[in-house]
Chain A
Amino acid sequence: MKQVLRLFCSWALAVALPIIVSIEAGARPRATQESTETAASHHAAGKEYLQAGRVQEALAEFSKAVRLDRNYLPSLLQIADLLSSSGQVFEAYGVLQHAVSIAPASAEVHSLLGRCFSRLEKPKEARQEFRRALELNPNLAEPDYGLAVMELRQGRLAEARHHIERFLQRAPGDESAKEVLARICFEMKDYDAALATYAQFEKADLARASIQKEMAHTLLAAGRYAEAEQAFLAVLEREPTDRDALRGLFDSRYKRGAYKEAIEAMEQIAKLEPRSCEPLLLLARAYRRLNQFPQAHQRAQRCLELEPDHAGAHFLMGWTWYSEGDLEKAKTELEQAVKSDPNSIEALCWLATVELRRGGAAAALRHLEKAVAVDPEYASARYALAQAYLAEHRPADAKKQFEEFRRLKSREAWESTASDDGSRSVRRAAPEAVDRGHLDDWTGFANYLLLENKPREALHILEEAQKIAPENTGVSLLTAAAYTETGEVDAALSAYADAENRGPTALLFLGRGTLYHRLGEDDQALADLRRALSMDLPARKAAHAHLLVGSILNQRKRRREAEAELRLAIALDPNNSSARLALAETLLELGKPADAAVECRRNLAENPKDASARLLLARALLDEKREADAADEITRASQLEGESGRVLLARGRLAAAQGLRRLAVDHLDRAGQTDPSQIEAFYLLGEELLESRRPSEAAVAFEKATILDPMNAQSWLELGKIYLGAKRAQAAVGYFQKAANAAPDSAEAHYQLAVAFVETAHLAEAGQAARRAKALGHPSADVLLKSLAARAPH
């Protein structure tokens, strides 16, 4: 790896510097005699340009300094800083690799490396570098900022908060750091702290729409609906068509019970999106809430005009008719809902209710049995099915359903009796005397608070519960879950460890496995998830476990096993769109585009706005050579999320399949710039550049791919071929060795390695590699071995 990076660094300096130096943007502030030019003087000039805001000139000066002294660290640091700040992350990375080789104890170098890794979405490496920087210089500010961002992404919120607060101690006026702190507090559900942070912003910054909106969302999450409403209104004053703000306005009004006003907000969204069902259905629900049934019907009907098979719209129509007492119309609409979405639990349950009212007990039973089969954990369906069995004089079947209902109810013991808000209570009172008999109340209540997304309040309760029953596994598990939600990872893991000591359970392993996966510690995650699956898990949770296992196996390129896991996930939870998407991706990797397309379409039937599904479908269609259809899907995805990195990647792939090289290169290049973490974009770009006979540029692209994924054997292989073609056999050997290490079973890698060894006259090594290639079935290995044998001394 180091060798490669050095090579890359050389490339970066070789390629980047001339470009930089060629940019001359006006006179230098001070004239310098040629004879007195030093690295230091150019560096000083660069600093002056920087202070004056003349970045290009500054870069030019720093580059001159490095040309005079390639080990001049201050200028190298400045170059790296400017490159990475301008999005040229790979270029900056190359410079920094050189810098770290000459100054491994430089905190600034490690800090900048951390920044690069962060931008390349390599969190482990980024954290490592930032921590190293802090070890070398605890007073350096940027590593704390960088660590805060990385920990935030990993869900280690407590650590993130610690680092950003340290940063702010040194840079209290840094507004972006304050934004990060506010966001961390929001994610930790410490809304008061988030709002306190916003209060420290300068007035000018507070007036920024983005900050105003964040504040509004924080107020909404904190349950301060009236204030949230005012905050969203302030945003809308400046930008009346801000959809996000309108939606926030709707939510805050709806949650505080101002349904009429909420409707006003949603009507505006409906006007902005006249072809979208979502606002219409929200309006229908809101009108229904006000008992304004004709208006509710009207909105649902409008949705059906746009999407005649919209299950949600049919459901709302049916549900509303039921409330109005028109059972026939209710039946018609609910049947239509079920037809459009056979797995709609709500529609099945309400249709069953209607059938029961009409005296159709047998039909009701069928619908309820289906509902329970679709979602075994839907308590209401169990209850209704139990009642239906009783009505049909099947007490034994009823008893089973009641038992399941009781079990489900005890897990969601504190379902709210109020409507959406549901927080008729948050705290718990308990007699001061220890009362273990009420421990179930406490844990049930904590569970309720977690379901209501109130982990801090749950922790309050659990503290008390722990005093009563410190050895209780359920309390530990809930504590772990609560700490996971607040991002206090170490505390969560400690609670899981406590619980495991008392008695391992399926839910424990599932919870901890999920947390480990989130932290990127996949070995532990896999172990825990497999243990959870070996125990008794409810269907949905088992599906979740299979999904995570599948994801990990996919990352490790164990596609067939991943497919099996994902299929299990879907079997257990047919509505799990994430599992379907992951399965589609896996099937594509396994060369099964038709099957992948089926899965994508299933997801899109539920959610036509799923851009990920659209892009995967486009890929599948492309693999099936249906380029026009693929183009359509890419267009739809672009309409949903604009020209994002992955949309551009899809366009590039399509252009490449169509043989439109220049276009492909353009799209793929922009894809890589837009999202530098897309390894596939760089790999495909390299391929297209090769096809376009631009090997140097192709090498750059492949280098980037290997930086993102050092185990990308294909990229190493291509780099080796490029260098071999450029008569740089020694370099090629290095690349082919990398390819062989990444893919030990690749016949091609070993064969090419053998060829490169021949070029460098390392015949013994060549023979070894050729024999390996032959063993792996390379068709030309035999010929190579014979030629080597012929060259061997007698």
Chain B
Amino acid sequence: MMATKMRKRRPAHGHLPTSIPCSLTMLGVIALWLGITAVRTPAENGPIQFADVTARAGLSGYHNLFGSPEKRYIIESTGNGAAWIDYDNDGCLDLFVLNGSTLERQQKGERGPGNRLYHNNCDGTFTDVTSGSGLEGGYWGSGVAAGDYDKDGFVDLYVTTILEGNHLYRNNGNGTFTDVTAKAGVGGGRHVSVSAAFFDYDRDGHLDLFVTNYVQFDRAYLDRVSPYCLWKGLRVFCGPNGVAGDSNVLYHNNGDGTFTDVTKAAGLQNPELKSLGVITADLDDDGWPDIYVASDSTINALYRNRANGTFEDVSLQSGAGYSQDGRAQSGMGVDAGDYDGDGRLDLFVTNFQDDYNTLYHNDGKLTFTDVTFAAKIGQVSFNHLGWGTGFEDFDNDGHLDIFVANGHVYPQVDAAHLPQETYAQRNQLLRNLGNGEFADVTGTAGDGMQVVKSSRGAAFGDFDNDGQIDVVVINIDNTLTLLHNTTRNRNHWLTLRTIGSRSNRDGIGARLRLRVDGRVEVREVKTCGSFASASDPRVHFGLGATRTIERLEVSWPSGTKQTFTNVPIDHFVVIDEEKGLRVER
């Protein structure tokens, strides 16, 4: 039972006084004991904690289906993502979860179990409202991107699929969605599409769309030439080596409900890549969003936005294309965040078993250094296979931590009975120590971090609006996991939602600089990143013990700049490009 009751609304100044009279303390304790605590009782700075609240939240009904259980082909291994979206603008994050299918069903023209849309009841529970939403799917879903592409104030969805063409769903504003793929021209054809990202690459105020494609898949050929491959002596599916790559796609939003494929014109066509994850962010601080693609067994691609509608491939010289010793890794999930507080967005990429997840420090001017081992991340990731990931300040101490969803690709690995290598794996939580290093705190991070499943997508968001970031994890061929952040500490926070007018409606690409206690925390508005998932578009800052924010600077994609002082802490705040700042709750 949760110790804290979920609240839709908070008092204007939600922080508590530092000293509490004895009697009130007693009352607080009793209230806690009775389980009807009205206010959150402050505690000492405890460790990051997650609780598995899947069942309690009413999400146990979802069961993922993604290919055959034995995974005969590589395309059956990638898994699904999820999206945190507030589709009805009621202030509480709803959850959209993809589902897959099987090759046999595809062949027979049968439907898969379908996607799920869960409405957040704003009380810690969700209601399945899929039926009639228009998002049912039934195809072999893969990943999702979220963004208000038509600037009508309601978040839309782009769903990628495995070999069945992708779908653009326009939010009708009434709890339903319409598939407008054909009109929009973003179906893409029969590809193995995975992650996608809405972003405004040309800063014209409309959200464009970038789609990653993984490999070209020819089942008949694979069956003929190679029924299986050997990995550590086990018979497993073949790939990615030996399977042809596929080019990613950039669609330009024409502003009229249609898109144009500008991949080639933009300089982004590269059929050698085997892309799985994508992040769009201004990595060189020139005001224009760049693209970084995590690619499996090839170079990770970094494209510098030239600010003229085209991109320059700077993958090799950036230092973020390969590991520090020039080796291609298996790049699955990716996120960008300023983990060391130097004002530049760094990159984190998840990789395969027997390899490390890579932390690339942004050295400026689109150069990166693999600092994985210096950050003490290398050695703890070797025995895991990472997918969805995110930089989030889970304990609100002002430093971005890292969450990794883990799970093997070969179910056969369990037959080898290797203690350090299993199909189902624990996810990982790496706490930022504030000195450039991280500590693996998974073991002490609560029962939610002890869940052992083969995980894939992970989406981050504050679903209960308590100022702490929660996580939903999609587990392949299994139920999902909703991790509620139950960390107890005195740290403060601030969550900001951007509303663009000249810029895109979501404010995606807006750069927020928060000056607090003499240091600067930098965030960029985005929904993309992780793996095949879309996260809460709101920007979350952990403030530590800080009580006052010196300044908040917002740089919009349109070029508009705003500066705010007197920003309240421990609140949800809206930054409107036209109207300025207001407290939402």
Given A379-B326, A425-B240: 13 more A-B contacts, CB < 8 Å: A255-B233, A258-B416, A260-B419, A323-B379, A390-B317, A402-B316, A414-B297, A424-B241, A424-B352, A428-B238, A429-B222, A429-B243, A445-B242
List residues of chain A with CB within 8 A of the CB of B376. Answer: 325
Q: How long is the Cα–Cα vector from A718 to B342 in the complex, in angstroms?
A: 86
Q: Which of B158-200 contact A (CB under 8 A)?
A: none
List residues of chain B with CB within 8 A of the CB of A783. Answer: none
Q: How long is the Cα–Cα vector from A353 to B374 in the complex, in angstroms?
A: 11
A290-B420, A391-B367, A426-B238 known; A398+B317 contact, CB < 8 A = yes
Q: Which of B111-119, B223-231, B504-512 contacts A (4 or more CB under 8 A)?
A: B223-231
List residues of chain A with CB within 8 A of the CB of B369. Answer: 356, 387
Q: Which of B193-243 contact A (CB under 8 A)?
A: 215-222, 225-226, 229-234, 238-243
Q: Which of B350-382 contact A (CB under 8 A)?
A: 351-355, 363, 367, 369, 371, 373-374, 376, 378-380, 382
Q: List the 6 closest pairs (A to B, CB-CB), nearest first.
A: A427-B226, A383-B326, A225-B233, A428-B242, A425-B241, A419-B354
Residue of B nearest to A426 (CB): B229
**A-B contacts, 17 listed (Cβ < 8 Å):** A228-B233, A256-B416, A257-B354, A291-B379, A380-B327, A383-B322, A417-B328, A423-B229, A424-B239, A425-B229, A426-B226, A428-B225, A429-B244, A431-B216, A437-B271, A438-B244, A441-B245
List residues of chain A with CB within 8 A of the CB of B34. Answer: none
List residues of chain A with CB within 8 A of the CB of B352. Answer: 417-418, 424
Partner of B225, one of A438, A448, A460: A460
Q: Are A423 and B242 closer than 8 Å at their CB atoms?
A: no
Interface centre among B220, B242, B382 (most CB of A within 10 A): B242
Q: Which of B319-345 contact A (CB under 8 A)?
A: 319, 322, 324-330
Q: How long is the Cα–Cα vector from A730 to B217 in the complex, in angstroms?
A: 82
Interface string of A386-415 (1 = CB under 8 A from B): 110011000000100010011001000011
List residues of chain B with CB within 8 A of the CB of A257. Answer: 232, 354, 416, 418, 420-421
Determine if A751 is an interface residue (Cβ-Cβ < 8 Å). Answer: no
Q: Are A464 and B225 closer than 8 Å at their CB atoms?
A: yes
A225-B232, A357-B374, A402-B317 known; A429+B225 contact, CB < 8 A = yes
Determine if A382 is an interface residue (Cβ-Cβ < 8 Å). Answer: yes
A256-B232, A384-B325 known; A418+B354 contact, CB < 8 A = yes
Q: Are B218 and A430 closer than 8 Å at their CB atoms?
A: yes
Determine if B437 is an interface residue (Cβ-Cβ < 8 Å). Answer: yes
Determine if B261 is an interface residue (Cβ-Cβ < 8 Å). Answer: no
List residues of chain B with CB within 8 A of the CB of A441. Answer: 244-245, 272
Q: Are B326 and A384 closer than 8 Å at their CB atoms?
A: yes
Interface centre among A257, A357, A423, A430 (most CB of B within 10 A): A257
List residues of chain A with CB within 8 A of the CB of B216. Answer: 429-431
Q: Are B420 and A429 closer than 8 Å at their CB atoms?
A: no
Interface centre among B316, B355, B371 (most CB of A within 10 A): B316
Q: Are B367 and A417 closer than 8 Å at their CB atoms?
A: no
Residue of A nearest to B383 (CB): A291
List residues of chain B with CB within 8 A of the CB of A383. Answer: 322, 325-326
List residues of chain A with CB within 8 A of the CB of B373. Answer: 322-323, 325
A431-B244, A441-B272 known; A325+B421 contact, CB < 8 A = no
Interface centre among B317, B351, B421, B437 (most CB of A within 10 A): B317
List residues of chain A with CB within 8 A of the CB of B437. Answer: 325
Residue of B nearest to A324 (CB): B379
Interface string of A453-470 (1 = CB under 8 A from B): 000000011001000000
Q: How long is the Cα–Cα vector from A441 to B374 in the complex, in angstroms?
A: 35
List residues of chain B with CB within 8 A of the CB of A417. Answer: 296-297, 327-330, 351-352, 355
CB distance from B328 to the nearest CB of A (A): 6
Partner of A426, one of B218, B242, B328: B242
CB distance from A518 to the nearest CB of B (A): 29
Interface string of B420-460 (1 = CB under 8 A from A): 11000000000000000100000000000000000000000
Q: How long is the Cα–Cα vector from A390 to B480 in the complex, in angstroms?
A: 45
List residues of chain A with CB within 8 A of the CB of B330. Answer: 417
Q: How long is the Cα–Cα vector from A426 to B367 in the complex, in angstroms?
A: 34
Q: Are A429 and B239 closer than 8 Å at their CB atoms?
A: yes
List residues of chain B with CB within 8 A of the CB of A406. Answer: 316
List residues of chain B with CB within 8 A of the CB of A353. Answer: 324
Q: How long is the Cα–Cα vector from A49 to B351 in the complex, in angstroms?
A: 73
Interface positions of A (Cβ within 8 A of B) = 223-228, 252, 255-260, 289-291, 322-325, 349, 353, 356-357, 379-380, 382-384, 386-387, 390-391, 398, 402, 405-406, 409, 414-419, 421, 423-432, 435, 437-438, 441, 445, 448, 460-461, 464
Q: Are A423 and B218 closer than 8 Å at their CB atoms?
A: no
Q: Are A416 and B325 closer than 8 Å at their CB atoms?
A: no
CB distance from A90 to the nearest CB of B (A): 49
A257-B421, A391-B367, A421-B231 known; A323+B239 contact, CB < 8 A = no
Q: How long is the Cα–Cα vector from A574 to B224 in the complex, in angstroms?
A: 46
Q: Are A223 and B230 closer than 8 Å at their CB atoms?
A: yes
CB distance from A782 to the nearest CB of B (A): 72
List residues of chain A with CB within 8 A of the CB of B297. Answer: 414, 417, 424
Q: Are A425 and B242 closer than 8 Å at their CB atoms?
A: yes
CB distance from A412 to the nearest CB of B (A): 10
Residue of A nearest to B356 (CB): A323
A260-B419, A387-B319, A417-B297 known; A425+B232 contact, CB < 8 A = no
List residues of chain A with CB within 8 A of the CB of B351. Answer: 417
Q: Are A432 and B316 closer than 8 Å at their CB atoms?
A: no
Q: How long is the Cα–Cα vector from A460 to B229 in the complex, in angstroms?
A: 13
List residues of chain A with CB within 8 A of the CB of B363. Answer: 391
Q: How long is the Cα–Cα vector from A611 to B62 in the complex, in angstroms?
A: 67
CB distance from B443 to the nearest CB of A (A): 15
CB distance from B312 to the nearest CB of A (A): 14
Q: How long is the Cα–Cα vector from A461 to B234 in the complex, in angstroms?
A: 21
Q: How long is the Cα–Cα vector from A325 to B218 in the complex, in angstroms?
A: 45
Q: Are A405 and B222 closer than 8 Å at their CB atoms?
A: no
CB distance from B419 to the nearest CB of A (A): 7
Q: How long is the Cα–Cα vector from A391 to B371 in the complex, in angstroms?
A: 15
A257-B416, A290-B420, A386-B317 known; A427+B326 contact, CB < 8 A = no
Q: Are B326 and A382 closer than 8 Å at their CB atoms?
A: yes
List residues of chain B with CB within 8 A of the CB of A226. Answer: 233, 416
A291-B379, A353-B324, A417-B328 known; A427+B229 contact, CB < 8 A = yes
List residues of chain B with CB within 8 A of the CB of A421. Answer: 231-233
List residues of chain A with CB within 8 A of the CB of B229. Answer: 423-427
Q: Are A419 and B325 closer than 8 Å at their CB atoms?
A: no
Q: How long is the Cα–Cα vector from A409 to B297 in the complex, in angstroms?
A: 12
CB distance from A44 to the nearest CB of B (A): 58
List residues of chain A with CB within 8 A of the CB of B238. Answer: 425-429
Q: How long is the Cα–Cα vector from A460 to B242 in the complex, in angstroms?
A: 12
List residues of chain B with CB within 8 A of the CB of A379. Answer: 326
CB distance from A356 to the nearest CB of B (A): 8
CB distance from B361 to the nearest CB of A (A): 11
Q: Are B244 and A425 closer than 8 Å at their CB atoms?
A: no
List residues of chain A with CB within 8 A of the CB of B317. Answer: 386, 390, 398, 402
Interface centre among A256, A398, A431 (most CB of B within 10 A): A256
Residue of A nearest to B234 (CB): A256
List residues of chain B with CB within 8 A of the CB of A448. Answer: 241
Q: How long is the Cα–Cα vector from A323 to B377 in the complex, in angstroms?
A: 9
Q: How long is the Cα–Cα vector from A258 to B421 in the complex, in angstroms?
A: 9
Interface centre among B232, B243, B378 (most CB of A within 10 A): B232
CB distance from A161 to the nearest CB of B (A): 24
CB distance from B527 to the nearest CB of A (A): 29
CB distance from A396 to the nearest CB of B (A): 12
List residues of chain B with CB within 8 A of the CB of A322. Answer: 373
Q: Are B241 and A445 closer than 8 Å at their CB atoms?
A: yes
Q: Are B316 and A380 closer than 8 Å at their CB atoms?
A: no
Q: Are B420 and A418 closer than 8 Å at their CB atoms?
A: no
CB distance from B301 to the nearest CB of A (A): 14
Q: How long is the Cα–Cα vector from A535 to B319 in the complex, in angstroms?
A: 34
Q: How long is the Cα–Cα vector from A432 to B220 in the complex, in angstroms?
A: 9
List residues of chain B with CB within 8 A of the CB of A291. Answer: 379-380, 382
